Amino acid sequence: MHPDSIRERFKRLAARAGLPEIRFYDLRHTYITASPMAGVSPKVVSQRAGHADVAFTMKTHQHVVPGMDEDAAARAGSYMPRRRETPATAPHP
């Protein structure tokens, strides 16, 4: 099957389903962006995209979407130690 045939069929089906206009190729970017957010290893995502280099996949196809930054901050914060007593307020033996 020719790639143009796939693109045209996708375009018709998307329009029939009432979806906004989107290029078939945009689905690749969506998959590459969403998969790591769902816990899929970037290495696996890169292999599924047919790339030899994970850095290329992430640099070229992955996008930052709303909420990613906040999620990253929350996740990093969950690994930070909780408030500890400072030497000035620590009880003396």
Residue pLDDT, tens place only, 49-89 = 999 999 999 888 888 878 877 877 888 888 777 776 566 66
**Residues in contact with 16: Cβ distance below 8 Å, sequence separation at least 6, in sequence order:** none
Confidence band for 1, pLDDT divided at 50, 70 and 90: confident
Residue whose C-alpha is closest to residue 32's, from 7, 11, 54: 54
Confidence band for 92, pLDDT divided at 50, 70 and 90: low
In whole angstroms, give the CA distance from residue 13 to residue 77: 43
Question: How distant, in Å, are the alpha carbons of 22, 30, 73, 87, 91 from that of 27?
Answer: 8, 5, 27, 55, 59
| pLDDT tens readout for residues 26-51 | 888 899 999 988 899 999 999 999 99
Kindly report the pTM of this predicted structure: 0.61
Boundaries of every domain in the chain? 23-65
Quote the pLDDT of residue 90: 58
Please report where in the chains the tokens 């901050």 appear, as a residue.
73
Question: How distant, in Å, are the alpha carbons of 44, 48, 63, 84 from that of 32?
Answer: 10, 9, 8, 40
11 or 68: which carries more pLDDT confidence?
Answer: 11
